[in-house]
Structure 1
Amino acid sequence: MTRNQLVKIAISSSAIASCLFAVPSFAQESRWISDVLYVPMRKGPSNQHTILHRGLKSGTRLSLIQSEENWSQVKLENGDIGWVPNQYLAEEPIAALKLDSAAQKAQRSDERYQQAAAQLKVLKDENESLKKQLSNAEQGSSALSSELNQIKQISANAIDLNDNYQQLAKDHQLLQTELDVAQAENERLKKEDSQTWFMYGAAAVALGVLITLIVPAIRPRRRHSEWG
């Protein structure tokens, strides 16, 4: 048996299987021209009907209107309706369409990957910038904490100075009070001393006057005989 005979038997078997398993259908399902270069579309479901389209290219998408024993009525995307043999129809796209679809999906996936990589780079750059800002903020916070501690120390010293000042003010007030008391006592003593010396002077004057009055009285008088 030659190779051509085997091919013919395989094609005949495929046609017979298509006839056996063909089920009439009126749903708007999709069909594709199988891996054959061109398939004619006729006006009716036989080779005797007029050809409406001389060749539908492999991979052409069709909308299934109804299916009979060996033929199916289909609708093109431009709206033309006709009949094609079932043996040239496939329920799935041909390998070339699948490959093209897979390539398109891969291209879209690559584009999404490139976009994601670009976004990731932007996010990494933003992350690095945020890390630097955080480091600067931490350094600034440390400096502020140090300044705050210095301010607290200065405030504590100021409070101590204020307390010392208040205590010194109290001590000064006490000393001033004691000084005022001492000055008042000194003035009093000065007045008393002046009065004492005045009294002494008055007494001395009185004594002098008294002596002046008494001494002549007690001096002996001369007798007249003594005078003669």
Structure 2
Amino acid sequence: MRQFFIALALLGACASAVHAADYQYVSDKLIITLRNGQGNTYQILKTLPTGTRLDVLESNDEGYSRVRTSDGTVGWVRSQYLMDEPTAAMQLDEATRKLNNLQDETEKLRSALSEVQAERAQLATRRDELQAKLEDAETRLDHLSEVAARPIVLDKENRELQQKNVALEKELQILNQENQALKDRAKREWFIAGAGVLLGGLLLGLLIPRIRWRKQSSW
């Protein structure tokens, strides 16, 4: 019996669970009795199986504790059968339950991670598509900018050509005027020359007969 309680003490020292200051638990005894007084002669109110949680109202030096069950029944039990922590079996069940919850949570996290990874892959694909569209749009924009700049350049060149054309027309008019002036001058010069030649011919025609007459007279 002493070894049994030593084993219980070791189990209680190794177990890790939340300590409830206002509650204690029936120890790893199979069944204990809840009586309406402090002693085996008092009436049994209930039998309490291992792991029953009790609200401890008071304890005394005679080794008894006044407790209240979850259904409100108040009675006395031996203090030696009470412990501050749940039994090893209860702790194991609690640990198993937590482990199952953790496993469920882990599965949920893995599922969520898979969904996030799939969504990330989709976003990466979408990003690549948008990047390709952006590059294509930039190429088109550059082309449109070149096309849009051509009319401006052409208009500038056209204006320059028009200005050059006007200047050439002015030069052509000046050249035509100078050419006409040269033609008029040439005509005048030819007219003067012809008149001179004609006048000279007339003078010669008048002088030659006189010269011949003088010579004949001198003979």
TM-score normalised to the size of structure 2? 0.67
What is the rounded CA distance, in whole Å, between the counterparts of 2:51 and 2:5 in structure 1? 22
Contact 1:28/1:63 (<8 A) preserved = no
| CA distance in 2: counterparts of 1:112 and 1:131, whole angstroms | 28
Could you tell me which residue of structure 1 aligns to residue 127 of structure 2? 134
Tell me how many residue pairs correspond in the alignment: 176
Give the Å deviation of 1:129.
1.3
Alignment of 1:130-169 (within 5 A): 130-169=123-162
Cα separation, 2, equivalents of 1:126 and 1:162: 53
Q: Where does residue 210 of structure 2 map in the other structure?
A: none
Sort the Cα spacing of 1:10 and 1:149 in 2 relative to 1 into closer, same or farther, 3 A: closer
Secondary structure at 1:122's aligned position in 2?
helix
Is the contact between residue 36 and residue 88 of structure 1 (CA under 8 Å) also seen in structure 2? yes
Residue of structure 2 equivalent to 1:20? none
The ranges of structure 1 where at least 4 consecutive aligned residues each deviate by more than 4 angstroms after the TM superposition are: 8-14, 176-188
CA distance in 2: counterparts of 1:34 and 1:28, whole angstroms: 16
Q: Residues 147-195 of structure 1: CA distance to partner in whole angstroms, max 9, x if unpaired?
A: 222233334443332221111111233344456667889999xxxxxxx
Partner secondary structure for residue 40 of structure 2: coil
* Aligned-partner SS, 2:70: coil
**Corresponding position: 1:32 with 2:25:** yes
Matching residue of 1:122: 115
Deviation at 1:37, TM superposition (A): 1.6
Contact kept, 8 Å, 1:72 with 1:84, in 2: the verdict is yes
> How much is the aligned-residue C-alpha RMSD, in angstroms?
3.4
The yes-or-no answer on 1:94 pairing with 2:53 is: no
**Structure 2 counterpart of 1:76, from 52, 58, 69:** 69
CA shift in 2, pair 1:183/1:101, >3 Å = same
Paired letter, 2:56: L
Q: Distance in 2 between matches of 1:123 and 1:35?
A: 48
Matched, 1:58 2:47: no
| Partner secondary structure for residue 77 of structure 1 | coil
